Structure 1
Amino acid sequence: MDESIAANDPVRVVNTVVDNLNLDNFKKLYKETGRSAYHPKMMLKVIIYAYMNNIYSCRKIEKLLLRDIHYIWLAGNEHPDFITINRFRNRVKEEINNVFTQLVLVLA
């Protein structure tokens, strides 16, 4: 699948930039025990890439995670449902604002 995505594709930029962001605040939102959650970095990458493509619907993002090679690659072939995506987005609202600030500074 990796060979199917161009080296200069925006999905690779999102992947690299998010991997290099400081996401310590996200770790505070997760409990040490209980069922393992989808990785916050993966969820954030998917949401940022969706927003870059003017997609804000959790249901549309869920469908793209099953059909679009860019989203499948970015999510590492994981398939969170729309409820999980929405819960994540609501849980990290404030942190997402900080991430967007970091993202703008990195891209500038």
Structure 2
Amino acid sequence: MYIQYNMDQLCLPMDLEEDIPAGHLVRIVNDAVNRLDDNIFAAAYPGGGRDSYHPKMLTKVIVYAYTQRIYSSRQIARAVRENIMFMWLAARQQPDFRTINRFRSERMKDVLETVFTAILGFLVEEKYVKLEHYSGVGSVQAVL
């Protein structure tokens, strides 16, 4: 009569890969950031000290958060703990809101424009977005 339901027999950790549809925006963000040159991050991470979260992972999480209109570091950190798409991007790592805030406001402050320009170039190249100029002002029209 009912599908088997027993909270004591959950198979965790589950594989998030199968829950992310092909062509989903989160996969596009993942591909776009993976294409970024690692040298972009080298100046922000000179080495030494304890190990840091990978800058590409944090970049993916932040870029995807912005596409979802999530800008608060606390809300991004919450999404990484609670949202399957964010969990997948972060490979189940859970940076806290301070780490996210420091990453974008201190570590990556000088290269964020380069990162976003490179990602936009990838999206245009792969025909995910079109750049159209109206009256000399550029606008981006998503075709997703």
TM-score relative to the length of structure 1: 0.95
Corresponding position of 1:94: 110
Offset of residue 98 of structure 1: 0.5
Tell me which residue corresponds to 2:83. 68
Per-residue deviation, 1:36: 0.2
The equivalences for 1:1-108 within 5 A come to: 1-90=16-105, 91-108=107-124
CA distance in 2, matches of 1:105, 1:4: 28
After TM superposition, the runs of 4+ consecutive aligned structure 1 residues lying more than 4 A away are none
Report the alpha carbon displacement of residue 29 of structure 1 after superposing the two structures with TM: 1.5
Identify the structure with bigger relative contact order (alpha carbons < 8 Å, sequence gap 6+).
1
CA distance in 1, matches of 2:20, 2:60: 16
Q: Distance in 2 between matches of 1:16 and 1:39?
A: 15
Matched residues in 2 for 1:75 and 1:14: separation?
A: 12
**In the TM superposition, what is the alpha-carbon distance from 1:67 to its structure 2 partner?**
0.4
Task: State the identity as a percent.
Answer: 44
CA distance in 2, matches of 1:76, 1:5: 13
Normalized per residue, the structure richer in helix is 1
SS at match of 2:110: helix
Structure 2, gaps ≥5 residues long: 1-15, 125-144
Larger radius of gyration: 2
Per the TM alignment, residue 80 of structure 1 is displaced from its structure 2 partner at its CA by 0.4
